[in-house]
Structure 1
Amino acid sequence: MNHPSGLSAAAVQVYRLRVTHPTDSVTELGCRAGLPPEVVVAAESELTRLGLLRTSPAGGWVAVGPETATEELVAATEHEILQLQVALGATRAKMQALSAHYMEARSLRSARGDIETVRGLDNIRAVIDDLARTATTTVDTLAPGGGQGEQALSAALPNDLRVLSRGCQLRILFQDSARRHKPTGQYVTRITAAGAQARCLSHLPTRMILYGDDCAVLPIDHERTGLGVIVVRDASVLGFLRWLYDHHWSQATDFFVDEHESPLGLSSVEAEILSQLASGRTNPTISAELGMSERTVARIVAGLMERLGAGSRFEAGVRAVQLGWVS
């Protein structure tokens, strides 16, 4: 069993004996300790590595106090840390020296009318991190697809909290089904506690992030967001995207407010599914647009058909229009 210091029991015993018997041979010290010579040699090697035992010029050994040995070990480590800190400081200084050049080039890149295409997940994250870091007024997000992925939420949370800490306004618009996704709810709780606003709507047109009146980030293909994004800085396009966002925001309800039922007894999700059903949409299409599982959509569709007394999806759509449930 090892000593609390981490030394073996034999090393502790040899250390004690070397304090009082520095000139004993290995055999003599082994006799005093009741240890075989090879165990004494191994213990002395263990003590030497830690600086607790040194050979004496006059012969024999010198036992060094733990405090002295510790100071010498720590001094070597502190020297290595100091060298690393110097290297880190030099690297930081070199990188900061590029800041002015970067900001100047970025301002040129941000000229109105400019549209930038960004591909690759790492590149997309770098652009979004940069835009979030330099945002000064507002950041508004459309987040379709229901509950968001936990990895995406973890990546977004630090950026969002930094944006809020600088006094920026942060608004996020989710689809209604996100209310039932626990990780998304926990994320919204964190950011709203820091001053953000979050609302829900049954249907959102596309994924989008607006950074004040400076730029917007949209997917190249809203159905395959992994293909890449475009960063838009054109004033006329930004004006339309701002109107689009504010229009949807004005129709949405607070994330933590329960969905209100319509006078017909339909929840907002049921009303949206029924509207899409009347338009001839299939369950997979409805599922993708509302960010819900196909099983959930199928269950709600079956319930609506039963309430309408319809034997088919087509008949359900016709009856819903006849009864005024959908326009």
Structure 2
Amino acid sequence: MGEEPDEAARQLYLAIIAEGGRVPTGEVADADRGALQQLIDIGLLMVNRMDRCYTAVSPRSVSDRLGAELRSEATRLLVRAENLPGALDGLTRAYDAMPRPTDRAGGAVHVEGHVHIRQRISQLVSDCRSEVLTAQPGHRPADTLQVALLQDVQLLRRGCSLRTIYQPVALADPPALAYAEEVTRHGSLIRVLDEPFQRLIVFDRTVAVISANDDNSTAAFITDPATITYLVGTFERDWARADTAGAAAPGQTPARTIPDRVGRLLARGLTQRAVATRLGLSERTVAAHISRLRDRYGAQTLFQLGWLMRGSRDDR
């Protein structure tokens, strides 16, 4: 039951008041039935079956009653909140005692296998209390984003902060855009860096996770304070140089800016291979973008294309 009437219900209540606070049951329009039921549920209207009418009730008495109910519910919830840690104490102790990889490499634990890596990261997300910093180069698979979305929204709802750096290509797919919009709505901050960087996650500035091989099938979980300080400094440097994810024009997705980014990098003298590395794209994808840009500008060579695009360059 809602505690406050919506605008339609408010207007119906005012109309009934204007008629003296009473309206016959047969005179309520079908369009007003939803608003009428809402007023009855809240208690602002009372059904008088003997006179076959609806009678207005004082909002003051409704407010007093609902206020008392809400205060009682708030007290009950506070008592539950106070008792909850004790009720879950046994489960908490079992979770804390769960076997985990031990530190065998001077502040770094190597975990092999994507399943085990994801499990350990999930544990760190659930244990996080204040902040997560993450750098995510390249594409993120749709199934990975679905899992990340559930974890990250819960993290943000707990009051933790989440900052993420992406490459432009990472936000080119609809699932990635949907993920970014949802976590941003819950308070996450996202920036885009048009340069190569390494995958990194830092939890509460006490545990850092980095890839330990090229295919990301092994991850190093680092707890050494000096190393974490260095990694956080690297993240903050990249964060300061990155662009906000909403820097594109309204309605323009990052995917639509990739051909222009390719062209602007060519205009700065980068080779096709260098552009692919810089944007985290395959050379074949870059070649396809270049082919379309040549058609658009009527250029025969990369040099001509770069020269023609110099006037539209806005990257510095």
Q: TM-score range by the shorter chain?
A: 0.5 to 0.7
TM-score w.r.t. the length of structure 1 is 0.56
- Mapped to 2, the partners of 1:207 and 1:247 lie a distance apart of 15
Match of 1:172 among 145, 164, 174: 164
The answer on whether the counterparts of 1:274 and 1:304 sit within 8 Å (CA) in structure 2 is: no
- Mapped to 2, the partners of 1:280 and 1:206 lie a distance apart of 22
1:271 Cα deviation (Å)? 2.7
- Partner of 2:97, secondary structure, is helix
Match of 2:228 among 238, 246, 250: 238
Q: Deviations over 1:24-73 (max 9, x none)?
A: xxxxxxxxxxxxxxxxxxxxxxxxxxxxxxxxxxxxxxxxxxxxxxxxxx
- Mapped to 1, the partners of 2:160 and 2:92 lie a distance apart of 25
Number of residue pairs the alignment of both structures matches: 221
Tell me if 1:140 matches 2:129.
no
- Mapped to 1, the partners of 2:142 and 2:164 lie a distance apart of 16
- Mapped to 2, the partners of 1:193 and 1:241 lie a distance apart of 27
Q: 1:141 to 1:199 in 2, by over 3 A?
A: same
- Partner of 2:129, secondary structure, is coil
1:101 Cα deviation (Å)? 3.3
Q: 1:229 to 1:274 in 2, by over 3 A?
A: farther
The answer on whether the counterparts of 1:175 and 1:202 sit within 8 Å (CA) in structure 2 is: yes
The answer on whether the counterparts of 2:153 and 2:186 sit within 8 Å (CA) in structure 1 is: yes
- Mapped to 2, the partners of 1:245 and 1:269 lie a distance apart of 25
Q: 1:138 to 1:123 in 2, by over 3 A?
A: same
Instruction: Report which of the two structures shows the higher radius of gyration computed on alpha carbons.
Output: 1
The answer on whether the counterparts of 1:172 and 1:197 sit within 8 Å (CA) in structure 2 is: yes
1:149 Cα deviation (Å)? 0.9
Match of 1:290 among 266, 279, 291: 279
- Partner of 2:238, secondary structure, is helix
Q: Percent identity?
A: 23
- Mapped to 1, the partners of 2:166 and 2:296 lie a distance apart of 28
Q: Deviations over 1:55-112 (max 9, x none)?
A: xxxxxxxxxxxxxxxxxxxxxxxxxxxxxxxxxxxxx99765433434xx87x95799
- Mapped to 1, the partners of 2:95 and 2:169 lie a distance apart of 42
Q: 1:207 matched to which residue of 2?
A: 199
- Mapped to 2, the partners of 1:194 and 1:131 lie a distance apart of 20
Match of 2:290 among 282, 285, 301: 301
Read off the aligned partner of 1:256 and give its amino acid letter.
G
Q: Deviations over 1:204-228 (max 9, x none)?
A: 311111112101111112x422x21
Read off the aligned partner of 1:177 and give its amino acid letter.
V
Q: 1:270 to 1:242 in 2, by over 3 A?
A: farther
The answer on whether the counterparts of 2:264 and 2:306 sit within 8 Å (CA) in structure 1 is: no
Matches for 1:97-246 after TM superposition, within 5 Å: 97-102=93-98, 109=102, 113-146=106-139, 148-221=140-213, 223-225=214-216, 227-246=217-236
CA RMSD of aligned residues (A): 3.9
1:116 Cα deviation (Å)? 0.7
- Mapped to 1, the partners of 2:135 and 2:266 lie a distance apart of 20
Read off the aligned partner of 1:131 and give its amino acid letter.
L
- Mapped to 1, the partners of 2:207 and 2:265 lie a distance apart of 31
- Partner of 2:179, secondary structure, is helix
1:160 Cα deviation (Å)? 0.5
- More displaced stretch, 302-311 vs 124-133: 302-311
- Partner of 2:231, secondary structure, is helix
Q: 1:73 matched to which residue of 2?
A: none
Match of 2:244 among 254, 258, 265: 254
Matches for 1:40-119 after TM superposition, within 5 Å: 96-102=92-98, 109=102, 113-119=106-112
Q: 2:4 matched to which residue of 1?
A: none
- Mapped to 1, the partners of 2:178 and 2:118 lie a distance apart of 22
Read off the aligned partner of 1:206 and give its amino acid letter.
Q
The answer on whether the counterparts of 2:195 and 2:279 sit within 8 Å (CA) in structure 1 is: yes
Read off the aligned partner of 2:185 and give its amino acid letter.
A
The answer on whether the counterparts of 1:308 and 1:319 sit within 8 Å (CA) in structure 2 is: no
Unaligned 5+ segments in structure 1 are: 1-91, 261-265
Unaligned 5+ segments in structure 2 are: 1-87, 251-258
Q: 2:85 matched to which residue of 1?
A: none
Read off the aligned partner of 2:207 and give its amino acid letter.
C
Q: Deviations over 1:250-276 (max 9, x none)?
A: 12222233169xxxxx9444334555x
Q: 1:85 matched to which residue of 2?
A: none
